[in-house]
Amino acid sequence: EVQLVESGGGLVQPGRSLRLSCAASGFTFDDYALHWVRQTPGKGLEWVSGISWNSGDTGYADSVEGRFTISRDSAKNSLYLHMNSLRPEDTALYYCVKGRNWNYAIDPFDYWGQGTLVTVSS
């Protein structure tokens, strides 16, 4: 059974940093693309970032480009999102999402974690 368990969310002040983690299990970690997708009541679902199976390709939404960095560690079967210069508009529930295949730019999202809540506020 595929499991994606996010952690690292919380309340943080604007301008500060936070690192989200996602522990993956139930599939061959190195074979699949992974993503971070966030959700807010007002803006719905927004793709944040994706990374290909071998970390060779990464992509970011314009809203986070230059501030967020996605990475993966095959030794720990984990996905990460390093978030710098956080803004109030980054407040959202962040989901760790598995791609259906190796390419983050083509293959759909087939499994989602339960999410970790990030609140950016002073």
Partner 1 sequence: QSVLTQAPSASGTPGQRVTISCSGGSSNIGTNTVDWYHQSPGTAPKLLIYTDNQRPSGVPDRFSGSKSASSASLAISGLQSEDEAVYFCATWDDSLKTWVFGGGTKLTVL
Q: Interface with partner 1 includes 3 (CB under 8 A)?
A: no
Residue 92: which H helix or E strand, with range? strand 92-99
Q: Strand 18-25 and strand 78-83: pairing?
A: antiparallel
The answer to whether the beta carbons of residues 58 and 110 sit under 8 Å apart is no
Identify which of residues 13 and 117 has a Cβ nearer to partner 1 in the complex.
117
Binders of partner 1 in range 20-39 (CB under 8 A): 35, 37
Q: How far apart are CA 105 and CA 83, in angstroms?
A: 21
* Pattern 93-112, partner 1, x by CB under 8 A: --x----x----xx-xxxxx
Identify which of residues 47 and 119 has a Cβ nearer to partner 1 in the complex.
47
Interface residue with partner 1 among 61, 67, 71, 77 (CB under 8 A) is 61
Identify which of residues 32 and 109 has a Cβ nearer to partner 1 in the complex.
109
- How are the residues of the chain apportioned to helix, strand and coil, as percentages rounded to the nearest 5? 5, 50, 45
Closest C-alpha to 102, from 59, 57, 71, 70:
57
Token reading at 106: 């083509």
How many residues at the interface with partner 1, by CB under 8 A? 23
Q: Interface with partner 1 includes 50 (CB under 8 A)?
A: yes
Q: Interface with partner 1 includes 89 (CB under 8 A)?
A: no
Interface contacts to partner 1, rule CB under 8 A: 35, 37, 44-47, 50, 59-62, 95, 100, 105-106, 108-115
